[in-house]
Amino acid sequence: MRAPSAYRAKADDLMIAIDTNILVYASVASSPNHAAALCALEGLALSGSAWGVPYPCAHEFLTITTNQRIYTDHLSASEAFEVLEVMNKNRNFRWIGLGPLHLDTLKTLLLSSGVSGGAIHDARIAACCIDAGAHELWSADRDFSRFPGLRVRNPLVAKRD
């Protein structure tokens, strides 16, 4: 399937998008893969590459990291916002929101992947990333591979040549 025009990003807009799980792992010391996620994010922040976080992922990050039922070493709301504010100060960082093509892109993703129900949330994140020109989404969630037009990479797993 050929990607619709909504999927085509200009070369100067290419960036890496970060999914919720990578943010959570990097920020909560008891979470799985904490050290690897923190190292990956720090490396990206220092690399000079363009990167960003979709707003839906920021909202999920706040929900998960401040929930004491999920993590005993949960973050306070102030600590969680501080994580987001530190990222926002990086000169190569940007927030990824809903653009004017969002519903068209989301429709294309839903119809091409056949997802429904709860998986629509992942499609929404994928649509945000595609519309913003993200060429890659860093995630430990394999479900994103269902969506054409977005390369997904797990930075917690060593690359194979």
- In-domain check, residue 38: yes
- In-domain check, residue 9: no
C-beta atoms surrounding 98 within 10 Å: 17
CATH number at residue 116: 3.40.50.1010
- In-domain check, residue 7: no
Confidence of residue 9 (pLDDT cuts 50, 70, 90): very low
**For 153, phi and psi rounded to 5 degrees?**
-135, 135
- In-domain check, residue 94: yes
- In-domain check, residue 159: no
- In-domain check, residue 8: no
- In-domain check, residue 161: no
SS (H, E, C) 81-125: HHHHHHHHCCCCEEEECCCCCHHHHHHHHHHHHCCCCCHHHHHHH
Taking the model in full, what pTM does it have?
0.87
* Per-residue pLDDT reduced to its tens digit, 67-102: 999 999 999 999 999 999 999 999 999 999 999 999
Which range marks the domain in which residue 98 is found? 15-153
Q: How many domains is the chain partitioned into structurally?
A: 1
If you ran DSSP here, which 8-state letter would residue 5 be given? G
